[in-house]
């Protein structure tokens, strides 16, 4: 599209010899996606704009590089030999000029492609300008977000202004001009093949440059080879077993939706895999990609509704001293065994959850649940907090608490959700079961697996898993037996006496873990309380105005 009286350069003609052209580019990211724009400016101030929508995930800096490359390729097609390039991205300009080092692995191939394109020009310079001086390219980048481009074709849109501007062509780019292939495996070799080969035989890949060899030696120093198994050294010197693509896919599937899978988010899955002792280069991106494509995760996504009320936190001084009890139900359809309710109890210190399903939750059922699932398994608690339901507040409950010297407290009758810990546990357990069930009537069979998945997942309020705070060690996941992790391999080689001593050492250090979790929980509650009080004040000020 031309906005001036400048004649458009055809395919069979080039610019005037020695003509100095200018190129301005910009990228835009918003809720609609990523868009790029570029404009060629002739020596007589004739404007030739280009705009496109990026239909793939990318960062802001990648979008800036895409815009720059689109403009350079347009200049090459117009057979321009002298070009001045202007952009408001300091990172792109200074990296292309070689003044800044390019460290991000996704930007390295972009810079290399830009440098390759500059060879088509007799003279080319790059200049950084403020954003307010780059308004034309910025407007073009925003332009493509104003139209909905169909997924199967590029679209043409006729836009009529008062000055009868010509047709605007909005293109769609499905793939980046360059891409990193770090996660791809060629010749059926895993991503760590060159590292393992170097550690084993001190051999370099064929056609490796001096820079490649130096980088490989530096990268190999972070790995450790034990027999045929390669391990990655963590920053705290913990060893992670390196897995190939097939094993990585098995790990993600088992952690996300396996026997004890909780359909966790990509970030939570990554942390859980690391805690289990496994590593591969693109594990975080792979976990996020898998979570995004999980059908049940999209159906049962969280709908957050935080009431604008001041937060009053409950603190437990030691494990199993204070429990919250609540009920889930009535559940439709009922389970195949006739159960319709789930009785849930959570320890306020470790966030450990106990739950059982019943056909009906009477006062006798509640009393039996407290004796069997709490008192006989852990200890006599100091406090129990419930709502004001008749099955949780009755003569039988009072007699039970008097017998074992337990303090019984109720949440506010006007706001039962003030018992927030058990309400949050209810929500998480329901969400996990919803994603695990297959026939809807087998949810009672999935309940033990949902509880195990909940107990082995890091809780934000403590910074640790409930399992580790109760037992002093992490649970062995089913996938660790199929693909043995380092700790599983070590435990199989220990004698019974050595294993018992190692277990005693873990139990001796459990108090340190619990103290750390207590401090972490207090800081978390302080941040949460400050945030909710601020929100509460803002809501009240809006109502008063």
Number of H helices, E strands in the chain: 19, 16
Contacts of 217 (CB under 8 A, 6+ apart): 198
How do 168-173 and 47-54 pair as beta strands? parallel
Tens-level pLDDT at each residue, the chain (545 residues): 334 444 444 444 566 777 889 998 988 776 667 788 888 888 888 888 888 888 777 888 888 899 999 999 999 998 899 999 998 888 899 999 988 888 888 888 899 999 999 999 999 999 988 877 766 666 655 655 554 444 333 333 333 333 333 444 545 555 665 554 444 545 678 888 888 888 988 888 888 888 778 878 888 888 888 888 898 887 667 788 999 988 899 988 888 887 777 788 888 888 888 888 888 888 888 888 888 888 777 777 665 555 555 555 555 557 888 999 999 888 888 888 899 999 999 998 888 999 999 999 999 999 999 999 999 998 899 999 998 888 898 999 999 999 999 999 887 654 545 567 788 888 888 888 888 887 778 888 889 999 998 998 888 888 888 998 888 888 888 888 778 877 777 777 767 777 677 667 666 667 667 777 777 777 777 777 777 777 766 666 666 55
Nearest CA among 265, 47, 401, 259 for reference residue 410: 401
Are the C-beta atoms of 370 and 376 separated by less than 8 Å? Answer: no
Pairing, β 155-157 against β 168-173: antiparallel
Number of other residues whose CB lies within 10 A of the CB of residue 143: 20
pLDDT given at position 506: 66
As a residue count, the chain comes to 545
8 Å CB contact between 513 and 464: yes
The model carries a pTM of 0.49
* CA–CA distance, 489 with 470 (Å, rounded to integer): 24
Q: Report the 3 state secondary structure along 357-425.
A: EECCCCHHHHHHHHHHHHHCCCCCCCEEEECCCCCCCCHHHHHHHHHCCCEEEECCCCCHHHCHHHHHH
322-457 folds as Nucleotidyltransferase; domain 5 (3.30.420)
- What are 366's two structure tokens? 């509640």
User: Hey, what CATH topology would domain 192-300 get?
Assistant: Endonuclease III; domain 1 (1.10.340)
21-145 CATH fold: Nucleotidyltransferase; domain 5 (3.30.420)
């Amino acid at each position: 599209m031309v906005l001036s009286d400048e004649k458009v350069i055809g395919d069979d003609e080039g610019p005037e010899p020695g003509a100095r052209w200018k190129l301005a580019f910009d990228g835009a990211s918003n809720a609609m996606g990523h868009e790029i724009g570029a404009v060629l400016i002739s020596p007589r101030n004739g404007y030739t704009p280009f705009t496109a929508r990026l239909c793939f995930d990318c960062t802001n800096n990648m979008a800036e590089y895409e815009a720059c490359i689109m403009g350079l390729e347009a200049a090459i097609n117009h057979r321009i030999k002298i070009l001045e390039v202007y952009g408001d991205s300091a990172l792109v300009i200074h990296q292309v000029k070689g003044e800044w080092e390019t460290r991000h692995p996704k930007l390295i191939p972009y810079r290399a492609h830009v440098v390759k394109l500059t060879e088509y020009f007799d003279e080319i310079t790059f200049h950084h300008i403020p954003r307010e001086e780059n308004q034309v390219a910025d407007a073009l980048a925003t332009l493509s977000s104003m139209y909905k481009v169909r997924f199967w074709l590029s679209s043409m849109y006729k836009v009529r202004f008062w000055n009868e501007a010509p047709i605007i062509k909005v293109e769609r780019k499905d793939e980046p001009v360059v891409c990193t292939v770090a996660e791809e495996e060629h010749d059926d070799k895993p991503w760590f093949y060159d590292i393992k080969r170097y550690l084993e035989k001190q051999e370099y890949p064929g056609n490796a440059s001096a820079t490649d060899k130096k980088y490989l030696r530096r990268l190999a120093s972070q790995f450790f080879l034990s027999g045929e198994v390669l391990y990655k050294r963590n920053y705290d010197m913990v060893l992670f077993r390196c897995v190939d693509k097939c094993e990585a896919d098995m790990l993600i599937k088992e952690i996300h939706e396996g026997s004890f899978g909780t359909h966790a988010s990509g970030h939570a899955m990554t942390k859980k895999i690391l805690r289990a002792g496994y590593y591969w280069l693109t594990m975080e991106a792979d976990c996020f990609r898998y979570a995004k494509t999980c059908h049940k995760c999209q159906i049962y996504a969280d709908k957050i509704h935080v009431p604008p009320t001041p937060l009053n936190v409950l603190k437990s001084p030691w494990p199993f001293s204070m429990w919250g009890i609540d009920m889930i139900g009535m559940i439709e359809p009922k389970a195949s065994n006739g159960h319709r309710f789930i009785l849930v109890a959570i320890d306020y210190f470790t966030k450990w959850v106990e739950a059982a399903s019943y056909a009906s939750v009477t006062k006798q059922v509640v009393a039996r649940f407290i004796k069997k699932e709490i008192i006989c398994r852990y200890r006599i608690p100091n406090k129990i907090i419930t709502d004001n339901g008749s099955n949780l507040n009755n003569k039988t409950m009072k007699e039970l608490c008097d017998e074992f010297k337990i303090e019984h407290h109720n949440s506010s009758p006007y706001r039962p959700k003030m018992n927030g810990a058990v309400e949050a546990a209810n929500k998480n357990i329901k969400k996990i079961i919803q994603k695990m069930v297959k026939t809807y009537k087998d949810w009672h069979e999935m309940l033990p697996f949902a509880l195990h998945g909940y107990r082995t997942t890091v809780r934000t309020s403590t910074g640790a898993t409930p399992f580790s705070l109760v037992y002093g060690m992490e649970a062995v996941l089913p996938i660790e037996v199929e693909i043995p992790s380092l700790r599983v391999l070590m435990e199989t080689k220990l004698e019974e006496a050595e294993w018992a001593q190692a277990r005693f050492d873990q139990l001796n250090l459990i108090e340190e873990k619990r103290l750390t979790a207590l401090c972490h929980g207090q800081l978390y509650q302080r941040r949460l309380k400050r945030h909710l009080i601020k929100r509460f004040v803002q809501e009240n000020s809006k109502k008063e105005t």
